[in-house]
A and B are shown apart, each in its own frame.
Chain A
């Protein structure tokens, strides 16, 4: 069954605005939370990740926040650009030997 829920499934923003994607997970032992970006017809690629001993991590325009008590984590993209348009997947470790992915968010940045 689904162990990682991701919302929204689609997101459209104007260039320069911020975008936020949220995920919740069910395994309280999860300790690694990566975010992948997949452009059309391409392979998923890691853009940022966070471990359970950290509450927030930032890399230029991208940040991830983690709330272990509530079991949710979020991706924040500021000053969005058309090249940010892609499908974004969150993921969380599960049972120490699996990585469960969210269903994905299709982000469209309108110029």
Chain B
């Protein structure tokens, strides 16, 4: 599992509230990613990081922000959750950038009611 842990594993939150998901890795990998998985869409990249304090937007970044203040932690924040953000969120790491194997965390199922 490449030492990746996501927390929480499940969360139900109300529309309009802020939510932060955490991805923790133990192997000091430089590249970390946040994806969301929805039926009919596969996995879509939200944001990624290529080092401490170095982050960039992915395909579906609107409504999300990220922070990486330490190598081991990559946080995803929904500033004001909406029902369209109900999804399963996966964190991933790669050992050599985007063109190498991705190792995924266990996923976080987020429901916005």
Mark A residues whose CB is within 8 Å of B: 4, 6, 31-32, 34, 36, 43-46, 49, 51, 89, 91, 93, 96-104
Q: How far is the CA of A32 from the CA of B102 in the complex (A)?
A: 12
- Are the C-beta atoms of B101 and A103 separated by less than 8 Å? no
Within 8 A of A (CB), among B90-112: 90, 98-102, 104-107
Within 8 A of A (CB), among B20-55: 40-45, 48
**B58 CB-CB contact with A under 8 Å:** yes
Mark B residues whose CB is within 8 Å of A: 1, 40-45, 48, 56, 58-59, 90, 98-102, 104-107
- Are the C-beta atoms of B41 and A96 separated by less than 8 Å? no
- Are the C-beta atoms of A34 and B102 separated by less than 8 Å? yes
Given contacts A43-B107, A103-B42, contact A97 B48 (CB under 8 A): yes
Given contacts A89-B43, A100-B59, A103-B42, contact A45 B98 (CB under 8 A): no
CB distance from A47 to the nearest CB of B (A): 10
Q: How far is the CA of A36 from the CA of B94 in the complex (A)?
A: 14
Which residues from B are CB-within-8-Å of A97?
Answer: 48, 56, 98
Q: How far is the CA of A4 from the CA of B41 in the complex (A)?
A: 10
Which residues from A are CB-within-8-Å of B44?
Answer: 101
Which residues from A are CB-within-8-Å of B42?
Answer: 4, 6, 89, 91, 101-104
The 10 closest A-B pairs by CB, nearest first: A101-B42, A32-B99, A43-B104, A101-B43, A103-B42, A46-B101, A93-B99, A104-B42, A44-B104, A102-B42
- Are the C-beta atoms of B104 and A98 separated by less than 8 Å? no
Which residues from A are CB-within-8-Å of B99?
Answer: 31-32, 51, 93
